[in-house]
């Protein structure tokens, strides 16, 4: 019975050793493949990282330029608003000045027309009265 247990133990050890050896061989192949992959990508990875750094620097510059342009657009918009308010003020003043001048001109024109009509009527009456005195 001891020999049977010993035989089973030896067989189990041989099976365990065979599986362990095959597992170690697979681990070594995987390790070699990983080393080869890292060796191949190391050069590419360094170049990629350098390119990425340059790209990020360019994006930073572009972002700074966009911020500057946005501020310039805001400044231009504020200037346009200021100009528009100035034009409105100027138009209001010009309109008020023209309205005052036009009112003065209209008032003068009304007075002139009224005076002219009164003078015309007076002259017509005087002519009629002169004509009537001359006929009698």
Q: What is the reported pLDDT for 136?
A: 55
Please report the pLDDT score of residue 31 as a whole number.
92
HSE-up of residue 1 (Cα within 13 Å, Cβ side):
0
What is the reported pLDDT for 50?
Answer: 85
What is the mean pLDDT of each successive set of 10 residues along the chain, which is 136 residues long?
Answer: 87 90 92 86 76 90 83 87 87 79 80 87 81 63
């Amino acid at each position: 019975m001891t020999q049977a247990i010993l035989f089973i133990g030896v067989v189990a050890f041989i099976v365990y050793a065979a599986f362990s050896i095959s597992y170690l061989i697979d681990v070594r192949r995987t390790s070699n493949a990983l080393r080869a992959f890292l060796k191949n990508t190391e050069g590419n990875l360094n170049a990629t990282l350098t390119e990425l750094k340059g790209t990020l620097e360019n994006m930073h510059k572009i972002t700074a330029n966009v911020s500057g342009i946005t501020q310039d657009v805001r400044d231009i918009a504020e200037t346009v608003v200021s100009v528009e308010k100035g034009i409105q003020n100027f138009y209001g003043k010009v309109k008020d000045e023209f309205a005052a001048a036009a009112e003065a001109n209209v008032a003068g024109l009304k007075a002139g027309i009224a005076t002219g009509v009164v003078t015309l009527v007076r002259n017509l009456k005087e002519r009629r009265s002169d004509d009537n005195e001359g006929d009698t």
